[in-house]
Structure 1
């Protein structure tokens, strides 16, 4: 029997960080069921629900964001940051961690620095085409770096794709289609549109869809609108918005069902979403987040260039866009089929196993390291 070893995985906030983190943890356990995995996150992120649901222990440390302007919080920052590093170090000591895996987010920098102080190997996965601050810091000391996209600029990064859990990585869109449509409330053969702004929602996308409901109903389009947590769409009377063929939910746990059921998906181009759409082979209209450092536009670039998705700027995603571009596309089954096939060429489903192998090899385990493409 292989002797057990402990790995601490760090990341959180949104599903875009948590899902690949859990997928890598799953792959580590699949390679060796005796692997002890402890996750580190914050007390106010989605990890508080998703990590325990996946069967892993979650330990939390304080989130220490950088204040955007001079304030008392800025003066307190060094003390809070030192406290977060100490809290992270205690978790590493308590769990007898042999290695740390980070996927980015506020929680990772203290964990990376605590691991470096203890001379533990650090492994990183960067989900976005443009690396975040935490991973840029951690990559300086990392024993191994994997990336979902090329061009992250992280030293030594290997393009491995996006780690995703088995129910997405192994999905068969055609085989799952009928069951998924039934599960999500789609009926008959009318076109099925799924709209999502990710786990946090997208207010501008939500508003455009709400304003376009009469247009969509006249076209006979069925809509599943995933609004995001706390972003339910309400009518003038404060009741959940309702229309023919329209259903709204705040969150969907089984996104493989959404990918299988949809004829077309409208979504932000978060890294996880883009990679999952490619693996599923689902046509999409991608609306990059208009703020931040532009990583969502970069995330979408390869899928759009391959013909698997359309890209529209947030300000241009209007009722006119739906009328002139989206609805004609939904009515063109051949075009949708071509987009789905093109998306599929960009999919890679083995990233979690590749990352697990990277960690195990770094710790002298027997799992061979799969061949990857250097960035």
Structure 2
């Protein structure tokens, strides 16, 4: 139990914050729904319940993924966060279906809801809270990508660096982006329904919110399925190829693998060097390259081997400047 609590301290903080906030929001929305019977509020309640459950699972998964390798699991637990995310999206998928079903039922059988003031107040509070979580998640995306930005960057630049974020942070950002958008959509639908009498607006909003939730399900599922299988990090692969090639003793790269498991990167390098170098010199080159690669963000282990230079230059991937990252100190 002590080890488990220590691991939880290293869990993904944005997912924990989002889970707590969404639990509070879900309770508020549930109360508002039971008082008013508003179908748009039902959709938002289901959305918040799904987000809260998801993010609690992701927080625990991200913490357990940092557990040290054991004799039984020598490769560590890095992929555990991907597996947890895959399980979490099943919950969101079920809630998405129920949300769409309820919206369709309301369109076919529209009914006026009561307590408009309560509904709008709860939705307004929820939008503000969801937006604050989205902003913090955007800041974390930029932090994990090693990018500094302006006050608005978490809401703008973060989109272009989303693929460099950790799986848990990416999930929180996407879910709260949809949650904030869904809250605004529900707010507008309630206003339209109340002031125009077009009661189907709430059902339409419910279906749209459900479809947005399904989009998150699909996107998160595909991202984490690749992570669970062990995906090549193309950007980091080309970056490492670039910095390794800058070493004057490396004549060519025969083989380079950069496999992403959860939040961690595993590197395997076979470099070609001058065969006349002494063993001591080769050992020095090995240590320099290992320290250099291990200093890169996310790299947890590296295997380096050498082969004699055959005089034929084969590795050219690193020449594309678009794939080269800034060196992390």
**Computing the radius of gyration over CA atoms, which structure comes out larger, 1 or 2?**
2
Hey, which of these two has a bigger chunk of helix by percent?
Answer: 2
TM-score normalised by length of structure 1: 0.22
Hey, which of these two has a bigger chunk of strand by percent?
Answer: 1
TM-score normalised by length of structure 2: 0.24
